[in-house]
Amino acid sequence: MASISERTFIAIKPDGVQWGLVGKIITRFEQKGFKLVAMKFMHASEDLLKEHYTDLKDRPFYAGLIKYMRSGPVVVWEGLNVVKTGRVMLGETNPTDSKPGTIRGDFCVQVGRNIIHGSDSVENAETEINLWFTPEELVEYTSCAHQWI
């Protein structure tokens, strides 16, 4: 069975870090069979966040979003249909619309603090990964479980 692997950008937002959910979120992606290929724990600069959220710059919550996102880890996952599957695993943007079993359905209570961001398309994933990571920071390796997953 041939499969085409893709990558997605996932950012655990500051509330997810403060609630101690980083390990649980990583575990969910690993248990799904996705391969972790890059991770940073950093305080993002205001300029980086403004570039990342440029499509939201005219929204009333933009300034608060930039302030809120000033810290938190970001990761890159690789695997078959990881963008679409990752979005399903995250749940809806508004946690009240998220099903139990999703990250937001299990851990979130309000849309303004929904603990996690995930790329919404393969193209946006590539853009976001290139914004946050250099090519040298993306690790290439073959997992021993690759042939089984």
Q: From start to end of 54-136, where are the E strands?
A: 72-80, 116-118
- Determine whether the annotation assigns residue 142 to a binding site: no
Tell me whether residue 117 is one of the annotated catalytic residues.
yes
Phi, psi of 132 (to 5 degrees): -100, -25
- Determine whether the annotation assigns residue 104 to a binding site: yes
- Determine whether the annotation assigns residue 61 to a binding site: yes
- Determine whether the annotation assigns residue 32 to a binding site: no
| Catalytic one of 43, 52, 117, 146 | 117
Q: Closest Cα partner for 9 from 83, 89, 81?
A: 83
HEC letters along 54-68 = HHHCCCCCHHHHHHH
Q: How far is CA 37 from CA 16, 79, 81, 110, in A?
A: 20, 10, 15, 30
Which string of b and e fits 82-105 if b means at least 16 CB within 10 Å?
bbebbbebbbbeebeebeeebbbb
Binding site for ATP, residues?
13, 61, 87, 93, 104, 114
Binding site, residues?
13, 61, 87, 93, 104, 114
Task: List residues with catalytic annotation.
Answer: 117
